[in-house]
Structure 1
């Protein structure tokens, strides 16, 4: 089990690598138990407030090196950095501080003969100290709504999906919503995700894809194929199989994908905490864009803690993804597999109970969308993809059909 001192070292080491965490993490100097670490944190804050870079060299300029443990100690803090576990270690340090403060409160209460009410008030103030107290008043929210009836409504309040029927039902992908796109294998889940990411990026948003199964090269090839309407089979050897016209349009397809500003993390076996750490860094580096997170796919995310079974593990991951959406105030769109029960029915269209491994997915998700292709089960090519919004916490449900061209992975609106 990690000690409070090691957790403090990890927090400071991570801050040295990710300077934005110094002011954005909510840490305060008094949370640190070790005076040396308090000195280092205060020096970091001093540099950060002046918009200066923070590293072990700039720190020794702020105060005497001996007060910071020396240059070697500061340099060694980098070895403890762990961005993925930053929040976990931060909570550990804060809880340790609270535990010590409770002891001080009880000692004061004993010495000064406090009443039970005084002790409880002191505990409440400790639990909701000024740095972590939530904003609960709705007065500012009401004030912001004052002109609402007199201002024309924007076409979409969320991030457009690029599919008219879907936008009509969802009003776009909404902030803080956890959206599940579920289907059996080979139905077009990844192509659908790529379509959403390209659409969001071209609109000026910040799409971040976590591809736990496919490599970044494979996803990039799919994005190019979709954007340029290129056959993925021909893209294996464009020089040999492309027509001259297709070769001429190649730079335009690359430019289109480049303008979408998509970020792809293709590490396998990620935990939600690691997804969160990477997304936070990308979002911080691009503060002027509205983020949207895509994950392919839910069942191969690693749980934070060992679980007794897969159902329990998926339930934990599902809850963590919903928390992630709320914390970043952005849509989190996650692909999900369906159970084999679909294949055992005469009607192969998915239903809510087909969500694989956990009813928690249904409970946590704000939107559940199923994908289905009739031509997958028949020999009749259709170039169509049926989409069914089976759950919509804040609006209507419904089904619609879009164009889907498997050869290129392109989705289109059906007129």
Structure 2
């Protein structure tokens, strides 16, 4: 049964590599990790083509007649049905683990036959664990690169600086490798905050990638346009009837400004973390000249691969995967989150970090946690006038916590700083 499963596993990995050629090298797999000899030969051939600068597909592989003779050209067409980009990372990791188990069994057999010393066995087993995961652990080169640091302008590559000055003064910016959680009660303004961050990041020259699990692409685009053009979202429902001539005349300019943000938007509603990671990686590979920022709306509706007895366990797995993705892609990951109902029962309704739904793992994994609050949200008389939006920085792993304030226009979704706001 193991061999049958391993055959399918290797077929899926190779088929996905044929579909997404960059995975051939990025996966850091080695030929010896494949159990099937024909799969090992195919992977070697794929690596050769990449090294020579060729694409890897049916035509380029079939052109290598002698090397493909033992594999069979027709096998390539059968192979393609096993491609699964979303599962690739999990499958590649599973292949490594199976290979390590084979290596351990072989080492223990050789040790028994050769009467190896304990230290020799341990050394060989340790090398097997590190195989395929070699990293440079020395700090010398890092320190050498810092020799001129006290005399240089501070420049953090990939830093996304928020346009809200009060917030920037606390968190400095959204940093590569860090996970930021922005949490609030429903309709407090989370999505508009995300949209403003995405637009500003894009205009700064970065690559915003939005995963909108709740809103459709059409609705979110309307909100991005309304925010950029300062259009009332109510009027956006029928621009021909409700727009003024001035608003209509600037329409094309607004669309151009939104397009300049270089936002990529995936609005599939039932995404898992492997699917999010796979899609993000594809977009990043296609836009290698820009630093990405990944934004997700929102945490509690990301799908899990299995059934969990407690929702906190599911949230824990997702929050860890979000942090791992930030480190893997070396980019900021900003994820929106709901707050639980506890805040509604208190007289002081400003949220606390403990109000995060299934908060334990989120508090642990997040580098920055920002809680949103508007006093007008709880007022009985509602108005459309712009009001004060508070950014409560409840956790900041690499800096201070504190309170930032901005003006929020609920009609348009636009958020901006006013110097005359009193602290």
Scaled to the shorter chain, the TM-score interval is over 0.9
**Structure 2 match to 1:389:** 393
Separation in 2 of the partners of 1:204 and 1:50?
A: 33
Aligned pair partner of 2:93 in 75, 85, 91: 91
Which blocks of at least 5 consecutive residues in structure 2 are unaligned? none
Per-residue deviation, residues 309-349 of structure 1 (Å, max 9, x unmatched): 11111111111111111111111000000001111111111
Q: Is the 8 A contact 2:202 2:263 kept in 1?
A: yes
Q: Hey, what does 1:106 align to over in structure 2?
A: 108
- Residue 52 of structure 1 pairs with residue 54 of structure 2: yes
Q: Does structure 1 conserve the Cα–Cα contact (< 8 Å) formed by 2:158 and 2:331?
A: no
Query: Using the alignment, how far apart are the partners of 1:244 and 1:260 within structure 2?
Result: 25
The equivalent of 2:411 in structure 1 is 407
1:228–1:253 contact (8 Å) kept in structure 2: yes
SS state at 1:182 partner: strand
Instruction: Count matched residues.
Output: 414
1:273–1:304 CA contact under 8 A, matched in 2: no
Q: What is the TM-score when the length of structure 2 is the normalising length?
A: 0.95
SS at match of 2:176: coil
Aligned to 1:370: 371
**What's the secondary structure of 2:86's corresponding residue?**
helix
The 10-residue stretch of structure 1 (68-77 or 148-157) with the greater mean CA deviation from structure 2: 148-157
Alignment of 1:14-413 (within 5 A): 14-64=16-66, 67=69, 69-129=71-131, 131-154=132-155, 158-378=159-379, 379=381, 381=383, 382-413=386-417
Gaps of 5+ in 1: none
Does the 8 Å contact 1:157/1:171 carry over to 2?
no
Shift of 1:165: 1.1
CA distance in 1, matches of 2:224, 2:234: 14
What is the CA distance between 1:304 and its match in structure 2?
3.0
Residue 330 of structure 1: SS of its match in structure 2?
A: coil
RMSD across aligned positions (CA): 1.5
- The offset of 1:72, in angstroms, is 2.5
For residue 391 of structure 1, give the secondary structure of its aligned residue in structure 2: strand
Post-superposition CA distance 1:135-160 (Å, at most 9, x none): 21111111111110111224997211
In structure 1, C-alpha distance between the alignment counterparts of 2:77 and 2:161, rounded to whole Å: 46
Give the Cα–Cα distance (whole angstroms) in 1 for the partners of residues 86 and 93 of structure 2: 13
CA distance in 2, matches of 1:156, 1:232: 35
**TM-score normalised by length of structure 1:** 0.97
Could you say what secondary structure the match of 1:302 adopts? Answer: coil
Aligned partners of 1:156, 1:117: CA distance in 2, in Å?
Answer: 44
Query: What does the per-residue CA deviation read over 1:20-69, in whole Å, with 9 as the maximum and x for residues that have no partner?
Result: 11111101111101011111111111111122221122111124375363
Distance 2:220 2:80 in 1: 33
CA distance in 1, matches of 2:204, 2:350: 32
